[in-house]
Amino acid sequence: MYAGHTVAPLLDGLGSSQGALLEALARRGVDVPEVDPPEHRPMRGYHQIEVDQAELRPAIDVLIERHRPGSEWRWASTGCPATRSRDSLGARVGAEEGIDLHAALATARGQATPGE
């Protein structure tokens, strides 16, 4: 519960919570940290786009500018084999539904300098 959000979604699905589990463990004599675990916040929808590797950094820069880490809406990127071309490397950028990835990519394409 403290190292990541792998347990919290499972607990939510079972109708429980991180706090309830920690309280139950403490009642049974298990030492639990005195600080609360990071709050689990489920994703609010999810969508993704695929970009060329050269477009990834400009797209990330736009997303950082519009949705800084820790802000309301979350996004992430990952390298992956591009499905558009077997010979090129691409990346996927995924985000919650509150982020317009297509608009961010369009802005990034307008900002990218030739040769990047």
Q: Please report whether residue 116 resides in a domain.
A: no
pLDDT band at 5 (very low <50, low <70, confident <90, very high): low
Of residues 64 and 10, more confidently modeled: 64
CA-only gyration radius of the chain, Å? 19
Instruction: For residue 35, tell me if it sits in a domain.
Output: yes
The pLDDT, as a whole number, for residue 71 is: 87
Are residues 98 and 78 part of one domain? yes
> What would the mean pLDDT of 93-108 be, rounded to a whole number?
94
Query: Does residue 84 sit in the same domain as residue 100?
Result: yes
68 and 18 belong to one structural domain: no
Residues 51, 24: one domain? no
Residues 66 and 106 in one domain: yes
- % of the chain with per-residue pLDDT over 70: 82
Residues 15-71: tens digit of each pLDDT: 888 888 889 999 999 999 888 877 777 788 999 999 988 888 999 999 999 999 888
Do both 57 and 88 map to the same domain?
yes
| 89 and 51 assigned to the same domain | yes
The pTM (predicted TM-score) of the whole model is 0.63
Give the helix/strand (H/E) hosting 26: helix 18-27
Q: Based on the domain organization, do 7 and 55 belong to the same domain?
A: no
Q: Where are the beta strands (DSSP E) in 3-116?
A: 47-52, 75-81, 89-95
Question: What's the pLDDT at 67?
Answer: 94
> What letter represents residue 69's amino acid?
P
Mean pLDDT (whole number) for 82-99:
75
Range of the domain at 31: 1-42
The verdict on 32 and 59 lying in the same domain is no
**Does residue 34 form part of some domain?**
yes
